Structure formats: C-alpha cells, structure tokens
Amino acid sequence: MKELTCKLLVIGAGPGGYVCAIRAGQLGVDTIIVEAEKPGGTCLTVGCIPSKAMIHAADEFAKLVEAAAGGSPFGLTAADPVLDLAKAVAWKDGIVGKLTSGVAGLLKRAGVKTVAGWARFRDGKTVEVETETGVQVIRAEAVVIATGSVPVELPSLPFGDRVISSTGALELTELPERLVVVGAGYIGLELGTAFAKLGSRVTVVEAEGRVLPLWDADLTKPVAKRLAELGVEVLTGAKARRLSSDGAALVIEDAEGEERRLPADKLLVTVGRRPLVDGWGLEELDLDRDGRFIRIDEQCRTSMRGVYAIGDLTGEPMLAHRAMAQGEMVAEIVAGNRRGWDKRAIPAVCFTDPEVVSVGLSPDEARATGREIKTGSFPFSANGRAMTLGSDAGFVRVIARADNHLVLGIQAVGQGVAELSAAFALAIEMGARIEDVAGTIHAHPTQSEAFPEAALKALGHALHI
C-alpha cells in the first residue's frame, strides 16, 4: 500500500483527537486521523453521552414509578409504568450513532482524512495502521497521541460475563435484578443510581469512608441522602475481595473486617480509569512518563520533538472538555500559532442525583494556598425555582480570596446544576471578584439566582436567607 504523508497525524478520534483534527483542518493543516472504532471515543460511544441518555431514561421512568406509588406531591398518577430496556438502549444507540456520524461529517468537512484501523508507532514520525485492506504506513511532521483511557480492571475481578465495566453496563438489554457496584466514584454512582431507578436492587461497595471520596464532603451529602431514599445500599469502608466460588456473589470485607457475600446478577466495577499506553508502540518512542501518564509541557509536547499528547493519556482530570481544549490548542500550535495551556479552571460535573459541580478550588484547596479565604453558600431550599422543580436539596458555594475577593472556586449540588457550570467556569476564567458575581442580574425565577446569593453571602449580606 502506498505510504501516506501529512503535516499532522492524530491517533485516536475521541473528543481530544477529533477536535484537534477538525481545528487543524480549519487552519489548513494537512491532517490525517486514525481511529480503530467509530469516531467519538469513550465520551461519545461508551461514556458521557450514552450514560447521560440512560440516566435520563431512568429519571423519567422513576418519576412515573413514584407517581404510580402515589408519591407525586402535585397529584400526578400513573399505573404500572414499564420501561423496555432494550428500546431504551436502542434509543441511546441512536443518539450515539447520530453523534458519531456527525463527528465523521465534521472531520470530512474540515478536510481531514480518516484512516480506520489500529495505529502503531514505528518511530516518532512514522506510524503503521492495521487497516482492513492491509498495513498503511503514514509519515507525519507532527503526531498527536490521543489514545485515551480504559476502565481499570481489578485483578481479583476480571471483566467477563458477570463482571462488567461501565461500557458493559451501557449495553445491558436486560435489567439485572441485583447489581453490585464496586467503587463509589462518579461513574459508579451515576450508573448505580440509574439502575436503581430502573428497578435493580443496587449495592455500592466503596473502600473509602464515603461516596464520591474525591469530592468535598459537603457536596456529597445530598447525594448520599438521595441514594438512601432510592434504596441503594452503600457499604463504605468495604473492600471487594473476589467472586464467590459459585460466581453468583461478590465476597467483600466490610468495615468491621468481616467477610460478607453480596449476591449479584451483575457486578459493575468502576474503580477508575487508566491511560491507554499499551498496544500502540509507546515502547518505540520511549517518551517520558509522569506516573502512568505521558509527561507533557504546557504546549502538550512530549519529550520527543514533534510528538504531542492530549487527553486522558496526559493525566487528571480525565475529562472530555479538557481533552478538547488541549486538542484545539495543539492544532493551533501545529498551524504555527503561539499557544500555551493557561486555563484557570476545568469544571467537573457529576451527573448523580442530585448533580454536583465543582469549578476551581475546593475550600480545602483554597486554604492550602495559605491565603485567607471567604466562603459563602446559598441553599436551594431558599430558591423559588428549585422548589417549583420539586427538588430543593443542595446549595451553591463560592470561595474567594479574602484580600481582593477574587473568586477561586465555585461548587454546587442540586438538581440540574450541571448547567450552572457554564456560569461558574466563565466567572473564574474571566477573573471575577465576588462583587462581579453579586452585581450580575440573574434571571428570576431560576436556580442560577443561588449563585449571586452565595456571592452576597460571602460579602456578608445575602438577601434571601
């Protein structure tokens, strides 16, 4: 097969890779992108998007179940709601299909050539791709590695028929009667909550002392409370040991050190994700590492000239929007512009019930800077719109420097607060002071009003509390 040459070669068409390729194409850079699966990566095919689709389906179903049980506060009734899980999965797959073909179209429109297959480095400028029709060699001036990450597998619980990863969980067409989730991070809780709403009996096993251990405790309390309401059993301080000998239960060591059997039809293991660093010839490049990750500088350059790395491969936070921003930046660098990573905040959202958002520094992180800080928070129980949505749990919290009132961090927990991440990120990226937030008119009645109120609280004069 004839060798291909290009200016920019992107390996992996996840959110980082495809954005990088599209932007490069827009800038007139001769670009090839290689992807073994459908474009869109983890995010579009087995992560963000499909999980949100299933969460939405589960939420809608749960509302009807609640109404059927006579639990609707405003008198909604329903009878015997049924969810056809296979249909829901098909609906989800339809969305994924639309988005992946949309990405393929965007790449094409930007003039990017897509090569389907598994890429492997021969050297820092040359890649071999195993395509259906044979080995395709591609030579490039610059290479962007965007191979992403995969779910971490526990040696004692290898993925298989009964033990599934988040990817497997999104493909279930039959509802597991008993689902055990190992790991109460955001992926496990999002999916565990969805399955609980769909009707599974869900047990969550977490080795740390509380759910969402990487988030600050105040934010996770409303989530823990809601899990209890949904009948999700949460076992904290408990360690997953092994599958029972008959394979029908998970053996755990509970907080007291006792061994316990948790019968399970499916075991969802969500104990984190690891960068995908094998299978594409990293050993040929001998790139510097940063722990498990590839070491990069503020231009996403690796230790090898002309080789960039973006996305989950390059470290925490492993979030699609970080990868996209990195991809866009690298494309512009390759096109000859001066760019550098100078983002002030990468918002993080947890689509649990209620949702959790964190942008910038947490109170503890802010204190750890050694500066004095001011915090102010405003509960949704004092917000009219939250009440009319029937969900007044949670709050918005603002953290600022005490000396110049520069906003350092904003967090929220509550129904639908994921959308508030936009306002939060903008405030920090623009260098807002709490007075700026407090002085911005927020529409009434919206949940967003809690944001300026939290700022006012930090200033000592919240109005509605």
Partner 1 sequence: MAEHVIKMPDIGEGVAEAELVEWHVKVGDVVREDDTLAAVMTDKATVEIPAPRDGTVAWLGAEVGETLSVGAPLLKLEVPGEEGEAPAEKAPPRDDTEPLGEGLVESGEGQLPDTEPQPKPEPKPKPAPKPAPKPAAKRPAPAAGGSAPRAEGERPLAAPAVRLRAREAGVDLRQVPGTGPAGRISHDDLDAFIARGPGTAAAPGRQRRTEVEEIKVVGLRRRIAEKMALAKRSIPHITYVEEVDVTALEDLRGRLNAEGGSRLTILPFLIRAIVRAVDDQPMVNSTYDDEAGVIRRHSGVHVGIATQTDAGLMVPVLRHAEARGLRDLAEEMTRVTAAARDGTATREELSGSTLTITSLGALGGIVSTPVINHPEVAIVGVNKMAVRPHWDGKGFVPRKIMNLSSGFDHRIIDGWNAAQFVQRIKTLLETPAMLFLED
Please state the closest distance from residue 394 (CB atom) to partner 1, in A.
Answer: 6
Q: Which of residues 167-226 bind partner 1 (CB under 8 A)?
A: 216-218, 221-222, 225
Out of 257, 291, 336, 404, which residue is the one contacting partner 1 (CB under 8 A)?
404
Tell me how far the alpha carbon of residue 225 is from its chain's centroid.
22
* CB neighbours of residue 403 within 10 Å: 10
- 50 or 394: whose CB is closer to partner 1? 394
Contact residue for partner 1 among 310, 392, 408, 459 (CB under 8 A): 392
Residue position matching structure tokens 């992107």: 10
Minimum separation from the CB atom of position 188 to partner 1 (A)? 22
What minimum distance in Å lies between the beta carbon of 462 and partner 1? 9
Question: Does residue 321 have an active-site annotation?
Answer: no
Closest contact distance (angstroms) between CB of 337 and partner 1 is: 7
Work out how close the CB of 30 gets to partner 1 at its nearest, in angstroms, rounded to a whole number: 23
Q: Are residues 411 and 396 in contact, defined by beta-carbon separation less than 8 angstroms? A: yes
Catalytic, out of 321, 405, 444, 461: 444
Element (H, E) at 427: helix 421-429
| Rounded Cα–Cα distance for residues 294 and 174 (Å) | 39
> How many Cα neighbours within 13 Å face the side chain of 453?
21
Tokens 């050190």 map to which residue?
257
CB of 9 to partner 1, least distance (A): 25
Interacting residues with partner 1 between 320 and 349 (CB under 8 A): 337-340, 342, 344
Q: Tell me which of 61, 186, 378, 424 binds partner 1, using CB under 8 A.
A: 378
Among the listed ranges 64-72, 260-268, 307-315, 395-403, the one in contact with partner 1 (CB under 8 A) is 395-403
Torsion angle of C-alpha atoms 231, 155, 349, 24, degrees rounded to 10: -150
Name, in order, each residue with C-beta under 8 angstroms of 125's C-beta and a sequence gap of 6 or more: 139, 140, 141, 143, 306
Residue with tokens 């699966």: 37
Q: Is 381 in the site for partner 1 (CB under 8 A)?
A: yes
Q: Which stretch binds partner 1 (CB under 8 A): 60-68, 191-199, 301-309, 364-372?
A: 364-372
Q: Which residues contact 218 (CB under 8 A, 6 or more apart)?
A: 397, 413
Q: How far apart are CA 99 and CA 122, in angstroms?
A: 32
Q: Based on CB atoms, which residue is closest to partner 1, 304 or 465?
A: 465
Q: If DSSP codes are grouped into helix, strand and coil, which group holds residue 100? A: helix
CB-wise, 3 or 342, nearer to partner 1? 342
Output the DSSP codes for 322-334.
HHHHHHHHHHHHH
Quick one: 105 or 340, whose CB is closer to partner 1? 340
Using omega within 30 degrees of 0 as the cis cutoff, is the peptide bond preceding 445 cis? yes
What whole-number distance in Å separates Cα of residue 29 and Cα of residue 335?
A: 6
Least distance (Å) between residue 383 CB and partner 1: 9
Q: From CA 83, how far away is CA 395, in angstroms rounded?
A: 32
Which amino acid would we find at residue 258? Answer: E
Q: Is the distance from CB of 375 to CB of 81 less than 8 angstroms?
A: no
Q: Which is nearer to partner 1, 116 or 423 (CB)?
A: 423
Applying CB under 8 A, among 69, 135, 255, 430 the residue interacting with partner 1 is 430
Q: Does 405 bind partner 1 (CB under 8 A)?
A: yes
Chain positions 37 to 76 lying near partner 1, rule: CB under 8 A, are none
431 binds partner 1 (CB under 8 A): yes
Residue 370 interacts with partner 1 (CB under 8 A): yes or no: yes
122 contacts partner 1 (rule: CB under 8 A): no
Write out the H or E segment, with its range, that includes residue 168: helix 166-169
Which residues are part of the catalytic machinery? 444
Q: Which residues bind partner 1 (CB under 8 A)?
A: 216-218, 221-222, 225, 337-340, 342, 344, 363-364, 367-372, 374-379, 381-382, 387, 392-395, 397, 399, 401, 404-406, 429-431, 433, 435-436, 465
